[in-house]
Amino acid sequence: MSIHPTAIIEDGATLGSGCVIHAHAVITRHCTLGDGVVVHPGAIIGGDPQDLGFNPATESYVRIGARTVLREHVTVNRATKAGGSTEIGADCYLMAGSHLAHDGRLGERVILANTVLLAGHVAVGERAFVGGAAAIHQFCRIGESAMVGGLARITRDIPPFTMATERDELVGLNIVGLRRRGLKPAAIGEIKRAFREVCRSAGNPRELAAAALASGTYASDEARRFLEFYGGGRRGFLRARVGVDDSAEGE
């Protein structure tokens, strides 16, 4: 473990082996960091939530998975409810100035680019990428392996394996990302079919996804997870814009 001069680590914080805490970083007593977590200068981890009704005496937490990196001036707030936690999975990378608000959830291998803003209760699936200065409304969900463009403004849920940009625009599937994950062509083909069936069809997307699942015609775990995503959430879903090409590719 390496703790640089002027770093502040409050009594009660738990740090795993091999953690590196740089100068002027603040780790409050509410934090648990896994092995190999790196916190860069000026980051504040475990601060009180930005909620006017929050009682600072509330015992709530931040939990960060192994090998995650938090760059300069990242802020991660603890949860609002007693016993609750804001959670970051293993191998995530939060670039400079990004913010994860209270009760947020990041899956494993999530990347947040510079100055990304995630409001309270936002959940991000594994291997998702959120571009620089994107802002995500509270209670939104971003599905696994989704890609959000820089400066995007998102107020609804983004399905897994897709790309979103601008103001709630769903622009296609993240095909390059799926190939980099090593998905077989058959699985990618089923995801394309599910995308067309739910995102490009008229009707309620929850009902369309439920019907597609019930049909028993989807064999891949990935396509089924895409459809199952529509069974949750409270913000509504992004829909494909007219004329979108479901074979669109993104990094």
38-59 pLDDT, tens digit per residue, is 999 999 999 999 999 999 999 9
Provide the number of structural domains found in the chain. 2
- Catalytic site residues? 102-103, 120
Residue 242 lies in a domain: no
One domain for residues 169 and 181: no
**Which pLDDT belongs to residue 130?**
98
Residue 215 sits in the same domain as residue 138 = no
**What is the span of the domain harbouring residue 132?**
2-174
Query: Could you tell me the pLDDT band of residue 234, with boundaries at 50, 70 and 90?
Result: very high
Q: What value does the mean pLDDT take over residues 183-204?
A: 95
Distance (Å, whole) CA 188 – CA 30? 41
Task: Return the pLDDT at 188.
Answer: 97
Residue 195 has pLDDT above 90, yes or no: yes
Mean pLDDT of 181-201: 96
- pLDDT for residue 148 is more than 70: yes
User: What token pair was written down for 160?
Assistant: 């897994």
Domain membership of residue 216 (yes or no) is yes
Burial 129-155 (b: 16+ CB within 10 A, else e): bbbbbbbbbebbbbbbbbbbbeebebb
- Residue at 247 is within a domain: no
Q: In what order do the strands lie in the sheet with 75-77?
A: 8-9, 26-27, 44-47, 75-77, 99-100, 117-118, 135-136, 153-154
